Amino acid sequence: MTEQVYIVIPSYNEGNVIRQTINSLGSQYHIVLVDDASTDETANAVRDLPVYYLRHEINLGQGAALQTGMDFARQQGADIVVHFDADGQHNPADIDRFIETLRTQKLDVVLGSRFLRREDLIAIPRLRRLLLRVARVINGLLTGLWLSDAHNGFRVMNRRALNAIQLKENRMAHASEILMQIRRLGLKYVEMPTHIIYTDYSQVKGQRWQGAVDILIDVFINKYFR
């Protein structure tokens, strides 16, 4: 029996690029687009594309959108779920490679990393690289999971992980929350190299250092005050 692979794409005001991102994925996967209350033309942009379109009535954040997509995929009977960014930063060619590793090594989660290959590393803008290194240390201290890349949005998980992981952190701190849950739930994981394409568009839309500080505070609150 063929495994059902669902690509979950959280999206907020990515109407300019979402069509291109979805087209780049080809037609072999089920695509779940979670529109997090976009105010642009996202819905129209994907009208004729083969996707499940879910829309939040209020903007909740990327973590909430991912969980919505994961809940939907679970209900649809997904065997494997892939987290994929809407802005076209991720490489669709990595999907099969990650799924293959998940299968052959009998893992629960495969996490993308920009720090395992030199060519991926040098593609990261310098300031972002510095921020990610600091985040890695803080993340390691808070989650107990020492990864090379703390905030990479490209992940692949099997049904077991899909059933077990429940994101409560609605905004960007979900990336740390996932790591905490992987550790707490004893899920088997590995990091694999992935290439992130930094375009002018994605850098403008991406997080700034203030956002990183916000995430740290969210992670701290989530860990100790929930």
Partner 1 sequence: MNADIQFTLTPIQLLLSALLLVVAVASLRLFRNRLLYRLFFIGIVFTGILFVAVPILPVYLAIMLGVGRGVDLVFYLLFTGFLLLIAVLYRRLLQHDVILTQIIRQNSIKNCRIMNLLEKPT
Q: How far is the CB of 30 from partner 1 (least distance, A)?
A: 7
Q: How far is the CB of 67 from partner 1 (least distance, A)?
A: 7
Q: Is 1 in the site for partner 1 (CB under 8 A)?
A: no
Question: Measuring CA to CA, which residue among 9, 43, 2, 3 is closest to residue 25?
Answer: 9
Q: How far is the CB of 24 from partner 1 (least distance, A)?
A: 15
Q: Is 144 in the site for partner 1 (CB under 8 A)?
A: no
Residue with tokens 């568009």: 201
Cα–Cα distance between 224 and 203 in angstroms, integer? 32
CB nearer to partner 1: give 58 or 204: 58
Cα–Cα distance between 11 and 27 in angstroms, integer? 19
Q: Is 49 in the site for partner 1 (CB under 8 A)?
A: yes
Report the residue from 21, 68, 113, 194 that binds partner 1 according to the rule CB under 8 A.
Answer: 68
Q: How far is the CB of 59 from partner 1 (least distance, A)?
A: 10
Quick check: 147 and 68 in contact, CB under 8 A?
no
- Dihedral angle, C-alpha 82, 87, 91, 97, nearest 10 °: 0
CB nearer to partner 1: give 30 or 128: 30
Residue 106 identity (one-letter amino acid): K
Q: Is 66 in the site for partner 1 (CB under 8 A)?
A: no
Own/partner pairs for 90-94, CB < 8 Å, 24+ apart? 90/153, 90/154, 90/194, 90/196, 90/197, 91/194, 91/195, 91/196, 91/197, 92/24, 92/25, 92/26, 94/154, 94/192, 94/194, 94/195
Which x/- pattern over 204-223 shows residues binding partner 1 (rule: CB under 8 A)?
--------------------
Q: How far is the CB of 200 from partner 1 (least distance, A)?
A: 29
Q: Is 42 in the site for partner 1 (CB under 8 A)?
A: no
CA R_g for the chain: 16
Q: Is residue 8 helix, strand or coil?
A: strand
Q: Tokens in use for 24? A: 């780049």
Report the residue from 11, 12, 30, 112 that binds partner 1 according to the rule CB under 8 A.
Answer: 30
Q: Is 52 in the site for partner 1 (CB under 8 A)?
A: yes
Looking only at residues 153 through 212 of this chain, which bind partner 1 when binding is defined by CB under 8 A? 168, 170
CB nearer to partner 1: give 50 or 125: 50
Name the residues that contact partner 1, by CB under 8 A: 27-28, 30, 34, 46-58, 60, 64, 67-68, 71-72, 75, 168, 170, 226
